[in-house]
A and B are shown apart, each in its own frame.
Chain A
Amino acid sequence: MLKLQEVSKVFRVGAFGGKTMTAVDEVSFEVGRGEVVSLIGESGSGKSTIGKMVLRLMSANGGSITFDGDDISKLDKRAYYRKVQGVFQDPFSSYNPIFKADRVFSMIKEVYFPKEADRVWRDKVASALNDVRLDAGQVLNKFPHQLSGGQLQRLLIARALLLDIDFLVADEITSMLDASTRIDVLNLLADLKLRGLGVLFITHDLALGNYISERTVVLHQGRIVEYGPTAKVFETPEHSYTRKLLASVPQLHRKWEGV
């Protein structure tokens, strides 16, 4: 469904853009329908940059990104966003603080479903909220700062789901969530995957990636250092960097070495 071929992104940095830095370096991988692929790496490794390119929030400098065979940069944006949506790490930053939650949903209706009857729409919203285990009465009449991080994150997932999308870019969406909410969100993604949703699951936590994904891409300084079935990457990591990441995951019954 989604295919990246030798995708690169070079940023201009320094005072006058005199220097360059390669954030993503000839990255290729695919995500199929009903598949979750984890994109794993430390902070700064280029994960979010890849996510942003897939969501067309920035363009690539090289290589190609296709969706169902079409070059995404050539697709009509609105049509593309009907199928592909993103949710990000910091829910507070991706949410306009002056809108209450119901306003956010009605804007989606105005843009994408102007013809839908209000009653049908209300039911849809209620069921999307139910999917993410939010109580409509508790969240809809609130401003973002009145919701907890977990509630807001689930609200944003519900918003993405309302569009009945085919593909979701989930960038570190669980790092601000508590354990119970986190597992709900992961299970939700896994259930949606069974319904055919493709997911690019961006995380720095190998344990989470391992929990839900079929295949794993490990990224280090913009380059892929390991790519394969999750179980294999996980059980017999070939690259020392992958092993280091694995050793850093905090585990309940094992103490970190050297701390």
Chain B
Amino acid sequence: MTLSVQDLRVYYRTLRGEVKALDGVSFDVADGEILGLAGESGCGKTTLGKSLIRMDGRMKHVGGRVELDGENLPIGDTVKMNPFRFTEVSIIPQYSMSAMNPTRKIGRMVRELLDSRGVTVDLDELHRRLDLVELNRDVLGKYPLELSGGMKQRMVMVISTLLNPSLLIADEITSALDVSTQKAVVTTLKGFRELGFVKSMIFITHDISLTNQLADTIMVMYAGKLAEKAPADAIVNRSRHPYTQLLISSLPEVGVRYAEKKLTGIPGNPPSLLNPPVGCRFQDRCPLAFDKCREEPPAVEVEKDHFVACWKA
């Protein structure tokens, strides 16, 4: 599987105008690659994930294209996307745990979902996968309410990968979980790739420390645009974009204490995406901003596979 996204633009229609949530983003995901997608709240991570699988009624595909294995993915067309969902591209949505239908037993939910895809349940395979994620088979007879957060999350992971999609998008699937459960979820995802249940993955989270436990490549977005994309180790150890650097320096590493070393967040807020500033969207908050930043910096490959959109990089 290879995914290629070129100059993708997806806007939300609102009463006050268009929210330019995804405004010209280009990147590739290679076969077997796990891409970690990071960035502040509201930068467009979920929008990107949803665009690749199902746009909601208010989203509009304004420009750019997406190719899966060299073939055009009809992302703007909900009906034409049907044959691709679950089989080619699958998503574990943000808040999916809390979105499970509380009145349906898990087993019935799985059956209905597969029916709607015209597939019958392969019960042996389902059981095998439950065993793999260490869920007791009797969860199928339970209601979502009876499962803990970690169990629900593993259940959602099993369901969304049951048809072996080429690309799995996991949106903030760990942020509501405690640290030991987060570790278990990440271990499971890696296992899924090894076993061939999924080929490539886009793992969305605002937590770079967590992304780095799993991702081969990390892409940092800012206000609807790509800021930096590089192998995980390059992002963590030698990031070149001021935004990435500030994001990393705001992480409370184990051992750091307020009384001894006060960490700082990034001053200011991301710009409104109704009328984003012309030029670099980070300019209002960037300590390095200069005149040139009123023009938009292109994403440049500064070393192999390391892309940065900043005039100072």
Whether the Cβ atoms of B254 and A251 lie closer than 8 Å is: yes
Whether the Cβ atoms of B251 and A252 lie closer than 8 Å is: yes
Assess whether B247 is interfacial by the CB under 8 Å rule. Answer: yes
Nearest chain A residue, comparing its CB with the CB of B256: A211
Total residues of chain B contacting the partner, CB 8 A? 48
Assess whether A171 is interfacial by the CB under 8 Å rule. Answer: no
* Given A178-B41, A181-B265, A187-B263, A250:B179 Cβ within 8 A: yes
Once bound together, how far apart are the Cα atoms of A44 and B149, in whole Å? Answer: 9
- What B residues does A186 contact at CB under 8 A? 252, 258, 263
Once bound together, how far apart are the Cα atoms of A211 and B266, in whole Å? Answer: 18
Once bound together, how far apart are the Cα atoms of A88 and B277, in whole Å? Answer: 34
From 160 to 187 in chain A, residues with beta carbon under 8 angstroms from any chain B beta carbon are 175-184, 186-187
- What B residues does A78 contact at CB under 8 A? none
From 186 to 209 in chain A, residues with beta carbon under 8 angstroms from any chain B beta carbon are 186-187, 190, 204-208
Assess whether A5 is interfacial by the CB under 8 Å rule. Answer: no
From 224 to 259 in chain A, residues with beta carbon under 8 angstroms from any chain B beta carbon are 230-231, 234, 244-246, 248-253, 255-256, 258-259
Q: How far is the CB of A75 from chain B (nearest CB, A)?
A: 31
Whether the Cβ atoms of B213 and A184 lie closer than 8 Å is: no
Whether the Cβ atoms of A244 and B264 lie closer than 8 Å is: no
Whether the Cβ atoms of A181 and B148 lie closer than 8 Å is: no
Of B181, B246, B252, B254, the residue contacting A43 (CB under 8 A) is B181
From 208 to 227 in chain B, residues with beta carbon under 8 angstroms from any chain A beta carbon are 208-210, 212-214
Assess whether A106 is interfacial by the CB under 8 Å rule. Answer: no
- Chain B, residues 248-281, CB within 8 Å of chain A (1/0): the string is 1011111111100011111001001000000000
Whether the Cβ atoms of B186 and A252 lie closer than 8 Å is: no
* Given A180-B265, A187-B262, A207-B252, A245:B180 Cβ within 8 A: yes
Q: How far is the CB of B105 from chain A (nearest CB, A)?
A: 16
Cross-chain pairs A/B with CB under 8 angstroms, 16 sampled: A43-B177, A44-B148, A149-B41, A180-B246, A183-B251, A187-B264, A187-B265, A210-B254, A211-B263, A248-B180, A248-B183, A250-B209, A251-B209, A251-B254, A252-B208, A252-B236
Assess whether B300 is interfacial by the CB under 8 Å rule. Answer: no
Nearest chain B residue, comparing its CB with the CB of A178: B206
Of A43, A177, A182, the residue contacting B148 (CB under 8 A) is A43
Whether the Cβ atoms of A250 and B207 lie closer than 8 Å is: yes
Q: How far is the CB of A118 from chain B (nearest CB, A)?
A: 27
Nearest chain A residue, comparing its CB with the CB of B178: A204
Whether the Cβ atoms of B41 and A207 lie closer than 8 Å is: no
Assess whether B150 is interfacial by the CB under 8 Å rule. Answer: yes
Assess whether A42 is interfacial by the CB under 8 Å rule. Answer: yes
Known interface pairs A89-B176, A190-B258; 16 further A-B residue pairs with C-beta atoms within 8 A, sorted by A's residue number: A42-B180, A43-B149, A178-B39, A178-B41, A179-B208, A179-B247, A182-B265, A183-B251, A183-B263, A187-B262, A187-B264, A204-B179, A208-B252, A230-B257, A251-B253, A259-B214
Of A135, A187, A210, A250, the residue contacting B210 (CB under 8 A) is A250
Once bound together, how far apart are the Cα atoms of A172 and B256, in whole Å? Answer: 19
Assess whether B6 is interfacial by the CB under 8 Å rule. Answer: no
Assess whether B136 is interfacial by the CB under 8 Å rule. Answer: no
- What B residues does A181 contact at CB under 8 A? 40-41, 265
Assess whether B190 is interfacial by the CB under 8 Å rule. Answer: yes
Whether the Cβ atoms of A244 and B252 lie closer than 8 Å is: no
Assess whether A101 is interfacial by the CB under 8 Å rule. Answer: no
Assess whether B107 is interfacial by the CB under 8 Å rule. Answer: no
Of B182, B250, B255, B263, the residue contacting A250 (CB under 8 A) is B182
- What A residues does B269 contact at CB under 8 A? 133, 135, 138
Nearest chain B residue, comparing its CB with the CB of A257: B183
- What A residues does B265 contact at CB under 8 A? 179-184, 187
* Given A187-B265, A211-B256, A148:B42 Cβ within 8 A: yes
Once bound together, how far apart are the Cα atoms of A246 and B179, in whole Å? Answer: 9
- What A residues does B42 contact at CB under 8 A? 148, 150
